[in-house]
Every structure is written in C-alpha cells, then in structure tokens.
Amino acid sequence: MRTLLSQFCEAFDATLRPLLSPIGDAASTLSGASDELDLAEVRAELHDLQHRVQALVNKVADQQAYVLLFGPLKSGKSTLMNALAGAYVSEVSSLPAYPCMVYLSHAESRVFYVSHYDGETERFTDPSALYGHISRAHGDLAERLREAEAKGQEFDPPLHFPEAIRKVDVRIPAGDLSQSGAVLVDTPGLYSRMKFGYDRMTRDFRDSASCAIFVVKSDNLFLEQVFEEFEDLLDLFSRIFLVVNLDTTKSDLSPDGTLVPSLEQEDPLRIIDAFENLAMSKPLKDAADEGRLKIYPVDLLRAASHRLREVDADEEPARGQANFDAFLSDLTEYLNSTDYLVAFLGDSLRRADGLLDDLEELVEHESVSALRARTDALDAERQDLQRRRHAVHRLEAFDWRSAFAELDEKLQPSIRERARAASAATERELDALVDRWFLTDASLESLLKDDLQPRLARYERELAAFVAETLEDEVRPGTAGLLLPSDIGADLHAARIDMIQLGLDSLSSMDTGAVLGHARPPVSAGRIPVRRSILDWILLRSRASCQRRLFGEMDNPSARIPLERKHSRLGSDGRQAIRRELDLYKGRFFRETIRRAHEHLIGRYADVAVDSMRTQLKQRDDALSGEIQEVVDSLVEHRKVLAHLASLRTAGAQAREGVEELTADYGQTEPEKLIQPAPAGQRPSFPRVIDGLEVKELPAAVWLPRSDEAAEASFETGSDAEPLEEAAEEGAF
C-alpha cells in the first residue's frame, strides 16, 4: 500500500529527476567546448549542480538518511563506521586520506564507484585496485596543489584539476545499514593539508535532513584547535553527536610506582564534566543546553569489536558498552522520530528550491551573459563577412577590362595632342639636321646615327615619359584612374580593396623600356640617288658603284663627303630623296611609338591592374570564406551551448512549478498522515501540526523511517504506539 510519504517521494522524483538530463547535456557540451568560450567556472558549477541534484533525487527516491562523520585525522572515524555498520569496513578504513567524501551503504555484493569533479565515474570491485587508483590520484592531486601554490593561486579542484576525485561510493554487505536505510558519510579530516573545497563538499548537507557525528580522541578533547571549526557544524545540522573516543586500556602511575587504571577507564564521565565546565565554548554550551548537542564517552575500539563479534547473550557486556549503546539508542531514536520525518519532507523541498535558485543564477552567470554578447557579436560579424563576400562576388562579375579600356580612351586625346606637337617639333629638327648636314663634309653615317637616330630616340623618351606621367597623374588621386559607379565603389569599400594601392602597384609594372630603343637609321644609303660623272659613264660604273664611291660601304656609309661633292653628286635630288625617305620612316615611327606607349604603358598598366584585381578578389573570397566558416563554427558552438542553457532554464522553470505544487500539496501535512495510505486520485491538503502546535518552519534535519512496509505494518495493527517509534524498534542499528 502506498503511503503519502512514498507518494511524495515519487512525485518529487518525477519533478526533479528530469533536470539531470539537461544539466548533464549542458555540462557535456561545455566539457567539449573550446577554451575561448571562457566557461570553465560555469562548467565546474554545472558538474557540481548535477552532483547535488543527483544526490538529492537519489536520497528522496531511496528514502535515505545520511549520517555524516567529522573529526581530525586518526580520531577514530573509521572505527566508528565499523561499529555503526556492524561490519568490518576495511575498504573505507584503508583508503588514503584523500580529500573527498566517502559514502558507505549496504549492497548485496561489494562494489565501489569513484566520481570526479568533471562528472566522470569509474567502477571497481577489487579493494586493492581501488586503493591503488586513489593512491595515484592522491599523488596527482598533490602535484597540482603544489603547482597552484607556486603560482599563488587558491586551489579549486573543479577549475584547476577537474579530474580530481569528488566522491567515493562504497557499497558492501552490511546488514545493520540495510535495516536502518542509513548512509554513512566519512568527511575529509578537518585539519589535513588538502582541506581545499571543504565548504564545497559540506554544502551538500546544508539544511539537510541529516545528523552529524563529531569524533575526537579524549587526548585532544581540551585542545582549542580541535573545535575551531566545530561551531560551523552547529550552523549546518540541527542535531550533533559528539563522540569522545576513549582508550580504556590506559594506565596511570601511582605514588608507589604501580600502574593503576586511568581516569578514562575508571570514570570517563569526569572527563566529560571537566570539558563541559572548563573547556566548552558558549556556542557548544548553548547547543548542549538546547539538546542539539549530546556527548558520549565511548571506547570505539572495544565497541566495534563487540559489534563485529558474535557475542553470546549470556556474555557480560564489555566495559563502557553501555555508553555506546546509549549513543546508538539516541541516534536511532532521532533518526526514526516524527520530527525527522517532517523535516525530511520540508528539507527536500527547501533543498530543491535552493538548487533551483543555484540553477537560475548559473544560467544567468556573468560568463553566460558575456557568451550571449559574444554570440550577438559573432552573428553581426557573420553578417558583415557575408555582406563583404557578396560584394566580392559582384566585383568579380564586374567588367574590369572595359573599365580600364575607358581609361585608355580617356587618356587618348591628350596623348594624341602631345604626340602631334612632339612629332611636329621632331620633324622640324630632323629637316634642320639634314640641311645642316649638307653644309658639312660629314659622312652619311654621321647624319644617320649621330643626328637623326638620337633625335628619334629622344622622341621615344619624351612620348613615353609624357604617357607615363599622364597615367600616373590620373591614377594617384584614387580609384586607379577609373570612374566607377557608386555601387561598385561601395562594394570595393566593403571588400576592402585598396584601389589607390592597386593603382600604384600596377604603375610600377609599366614597361617603359619596351617603348624605347626602336629608333633606327631612317634612311638607306642605297635609296639616295648619286649623280654620275662623265668618267662614271665612260667607265660604265653602275649606280651602286657610284654610291659606294661616294658614301662608302652601303651597310657602313662612313666615308667623309667633301662639301663640293655633296652638292655636285647629290644636289637637290639627293636632298629631296633623303627627306622623302625620312618622311616615310618617321610617319611609321611616330605611329609605332604611340602604339607601343599605349600597349606597354597604359595597356600593361591595365593588364596588371585587372589581373591584380582578379587575384585580390579571389584571395578576398577565399579569405572571407575561411573567416565565415570560422565564425560560423564558433557561432554554432556558442549557440549550441546557449541552446542547452536555454533548455536548462526551461527545465528549471518547469521543475520550479512542480516544487511549488509539491510544497502546496505536502508542506502542510501532519506527520502521522505521511505514513498513512495515500488517498486515491488526489494529493493531500492537511494542516501540519506537531504536538498540538502549528509549525510554520520545518526542522532542518530529519531521517526517514526504515521502510514503508514497517510503517504500514504499524498502521494496520491499530497500535496506539507511534508508527515511527515501532519502526525504530524493528529497524534499529
């Protein structure tokens, strides 16, 4: 038969357990995310939240009661665990002093689970393998701790070493734990060097329906250091059991030199009285007066031995056994009280509220807010890069060849005008050079190579310089000399193409040398007529022979020609022939020089500029494609993380609604009603009253009854005894 309590536990589990999946998904996503997301702290908090939610839902689902053991190293905690479990817990007592929680519970077969801060879990069945694993982990942890200390950092395992062990679950056959439903939790030594994260570990039990046992050796009972942090436990737990571990085998020296039983053996209560009257601080004294703190002097070694041995009923109890029995009876009574039952329910709801508060803070963490801002910035960057790439594509489709052809057409008028003026001046100078040659005895070669050819070469240089200067004047102001549509100008700006630099780089590629060096002797000696003398006729000298006699060899007309012979042998016919040949040559020469200037200067500039534009656009397209892909990849990662966090926020809101409904339905339930049969088809709504007084605030620490079956049996018998008390009697340690 289902009780209201079991119904609550099922409803609670159905409300909170669905959180584990989105928390795990978000934590897994962050674990695989790149460091640039800067979410290491959020990742650590997610793993921590997952751990705490898992612990809470497991506790409620299994109706577990936690008993936490605190105390300095070597105080006897492991011995007490043996005594409480009624079994030799060698797997726990042999573990190195690793700073993590060790949970001990009953199971039919021995198994161990090691949980890490990063959420990873390992399973062991061999105690020696577990011991070796933790020993190695201890060494790794110590090394990381030293590294942090060397850097002056405050070591925090989730951030600096997520692979560190957070929790060890030890499940072994331990009948007493099975009957009580208890989970013993061994905490790290309070004063160990590796006490980092102690607050993180113990915060799992704040406002927890658990009780604490503080173990201290009698030798250390009066040391102030031992109780430095004990008062913190008073804030965490509503009920604390202080176990003073005695050594009843100790002896003292008597005046006559003989050994006599020590005070611990003869009258341990005197030690407790002395502690209460002389050494107990006010907070401890107040807690003791309120009944929240009880002190028990126990020889834990003897108590554990007695619990583990099969003792005959007739065997006389061991010395001091009554103290342990009293401790165990009080512990059992508290853990099976109605106060604990109500507090268990209320605590579960408060713990759920606290976890949901942490979840809300986590999804709104400053790192998450920064991630959202970076995501928006990445999306804006992606859009800008895509806009720029579209601009590149439009520029690639633009007819740049035609644009540069327009530049050539634009420059042609001024170049033609300059060419005409230069040609006219050159013609005049060439004619003057011919006339002057007829007034000297210089050879024809001197006229051709020393006068006419250099003047033609100067025309080449002047025209090439003018074209280059004109082109440079057009290019340097910007846009590489082009008149472009406004939309193309905008695309060039978006594509980040520097037209000024492109123009200057292209100018440097002009091949001025290709325009120069084409001037040749404009007149051929064989085409100049030479008058034959009477002797030439008599001797039948040919025209070519007469030309050689006058000019020298045709390919090297270097013979000096006296002034009289120039006039007699060449005359006006020779002068006209030279000018006619010169006119034919210079006409072709001027046209070819202008053509070469366009081809090797303007044309070369345009070719290089067009090729450079295409190359730059191709490079821009490839670079933008790569940048877009990087941004998209990063954006996908950012959005993936944010999507998981958004899902987590939604799941948290849904869980919040469920917890509020559970609080409304169960928060005002009478303790006795919780173990009665659940009304079919509805949730309860009873005023919660304890001892005739309405209680508005639930106690902070509770324990569940041993089982629903025990509670149900008590209810069905109709006994006048409290059901929880009967369950306690049947299921005591």
Strand 101-106 and strand 210-217: the pairing is unpaired
| pLDDT reported for residue 672 | 64
Most confident range, picked from 164-168, 259-263, 669-673, 705-709: 164-168
DSSP code string of 171-222: EE--HHHHHHTEEEEEPPPTTSTT-TTHHHHHGGGTT-SEEEEEEEEGGGTT
pLDDT in tens, 353-386: 989 999 999 999 999 999 999 999 999 999 999 9
| pLDDT reported for residue 642 | 93
* Least trusted range by pLDDT, from 394-408, 430-444, 708-722: 708-722
* Least trusted range by pLDDT, from 16-20, 153-157, 672-676, 714-718: 714-718
| pLDDT reported for residue 431 | 92
pLDDT in tens, 503-550: 989 988 888 888 899 999 899 988 999 888 888 788 888 888 988 888
φ, ψ at 241 (rounded to 5°)? -110, 115
Q: Please give, one letter per residue, the 3-state secondary structure of 73-87.
A: CCCCHHHHHHHHHCC
Dist CA 529 CA 571 (whole Å): 9
Judging by beta carbons within 10 Å of its beta carbon (0-12, 13-18, 19+), is residue 134 exposed, middle or buried?
A: buried
Dist CA 99 CA 190 (whole Å): 10
pLDDT confidence tier of residue 38, bands split at 50, 70 and 90: confident
* Least trusted range by pLDDT, from 484-498, 538-552, 569-583: 538-552
Closest CA to 4 of 704, 731, 717: 704
581, 523 contact by CB (below 8 A): yes
pLDDT confidence tier of residue 709, bands split at 50, 70 and 90: very low
Judging by beta carbons within 10 Å of its beta carbon (0-12, 13-18, 19+), is residue 691 exposed, middle or buried?
A: exposed
Q: Which residue has the tokens 């120039």?
A: 566
- pLDDT above 70 (res 732): no
- pLDDT above 50 (res 697): no
| pLDDT reported for residue 718 | 34
Dist CA 458 CA 730 (whole Å): 124
pLDDT confidence tier of residue 492, bands split at 50, 70 and 90: very high
Judging by beta carbons within 10 Å of its beta carbon (0-12, 13-18, 19+), is residue 289 exposed, middle or buried?
A: exposed
Closest CA to 228 of 197, 200, 190, 272: 190
- Output the CA torsion 413→415→418→420 (10° steps): -70
pLDDT in tens, 628-646: 999 999 999 999 999 999 9
pLDDT in tens, 317-340: 666 677 888 888 888 888 777 667
| pLDDT reported for residue 547 | 86
| pLDDT reported for residue 723 | 35
Residue 429: count other Cβ atoms within 10 Å of its Cβ. 16
Q: Name the DSSP class of 555.
A: T
518, 568 contact by CB (below 8 A): no
- Residue type (1 letter), 365: H
| pLDDT reported for residue 493 | 93
Compute the Cα dihedral for 309, 315, 319, 320 and give only its sign. Answer: positive
What residue ranges do the domains of the chain occupy? 4-363, 387-631
117, 52 contact by CB (below 8 A): no
| pLDDT reported for residue 91 | 55
Most confident range, picked from 278-292, 483-497, 541-555: 483-497
pLDDT confidence tier of residue 580, bands split at 50, 70 and 90: very high
Mean pLDDT along residues 725-731: 35
Mean pLDDT along residues 248-260: 72
64, 183 contact by CB (below 8 A): yes
Q: In angstroms, what CA-CA distances link 503 with 253, 478, 487, 494, 495?
A: 107, 8, 20, 18, 16
Q: How many residues does the chain have?
A: 733
Mean pLDDT along residues 438-465: 93
| pLDDT reported for residue 674 | 65
pLDDT in tens, 226-250: 777 777 777 777 788 999 988 877 7
| pLDDT reported for residue 130 | 86
pLDDT in tens, 100-121: 788 888 888 889 999 888 888 9
- pLDDT above 60 (res 725): no
DSSP code string of 214-257: EEEEGGGTT-GGGGTTHHHHHHH-S-EEEEEE--TT-EEE-TTS
pLDDT confidence tier of residue 728, bands split at 50, 70 and 90: very low
Dist CA 309 CA 87 (whole Å): 9
556, 445 contact by CB (below 8 A): yes
Domain 4-363 sits in CATH at 3.40.50.300
DSSP code string of 254-281: -TTS-EEE-HHHH-HHHHHHHIIIII--
DSSP code string of 685-730: ----EETTEE-SS--S-----S-HHHHHHHHHHT-SS-HHHHHHHH
pLDDT in tens, 9-33: 889 999 999 999 999 999 889 888 8
Q: In angstroms, what CA-CA distances link 665 with 18, 112, 563, 655, 687?
A: 20, 38, 136, 15, 10
pLDDT confidence tier of residue 671, bands split at 50, 70 and 90: low
Q: Please give, one letter per residue, the 3-state secondary structure of 416-435.
A: HHHHHHHHHHHHHHHHHHHH
- pLDDT above 60 (res 715): no
DSSP code string of 444-485: HHIIIIIIIHHHHHHHHHHHHHHHHHHHHHHHTTSGGG----
pLDDT confidence tier of residue 175, bands split at 50, 70 and 90: low
- pLDDT above 50 (res 722): no
pLDDT in tens, 391-424: 999 999 999 999 989 989 999 999 999 999 999 9
What ranges make up the beta strands (E) of 274-352? 293-298
DSSP code string of 121-142: EEEE--HHHHHHHHHHHHHHHH
Dist CA 342 CA 364 (whole Å): 33
pLDDT confidence tier of residue 691, bands split at 50, 70 and 90: very low
Which two structure tokens, joined as six digits, stand for 634?
A: 């990063």
pLDDT confidence tier of residue 96, bands split at 50, 70 and 90: low
Buried b / exposed e along 602-624 (16+ C-beta atoms within 10 A): bbbbbebbbebbeebbeebbeeb
What average pLDDT does the structure give for the chain? 81
Query: How far out from the chain centre does Cα 244 lie?
Result: 49
Three-state secondary structure call for residue 441:
coil
| pLDDT reported for residue 381 | 95
Dist CA 725 CA 732 (whole Å): 10
Look at 699 and 230; give whichever has higher pLDDT. 230
Look at 731 and 199; give whichever has higher pLDDT. 199
Mean pLDDT along residues 76-89: 83
Residue 443: HSE in the Cβ half-sphere, 13 Å Cα cutoff: 18
pTM (2 decimals)? 0.66
Closest CA to 11 of 620, 532, 659, 651: 659
Judging by beta carbons within 10 Å of its beta carbon (0-12, 13-18, 19+), is residue 185 exposed, middle or buried?
A: buried
| pLDDT reported for residue 95 | 60
Q: In angstroms, what CA-CA distances link 454 with 1, 72, 426, 460, 585?
A: 123, 108, 11, 10, 14
| pLDDT reported for residue 239 | 82
Mean pLDDT along residues 149-158: 82
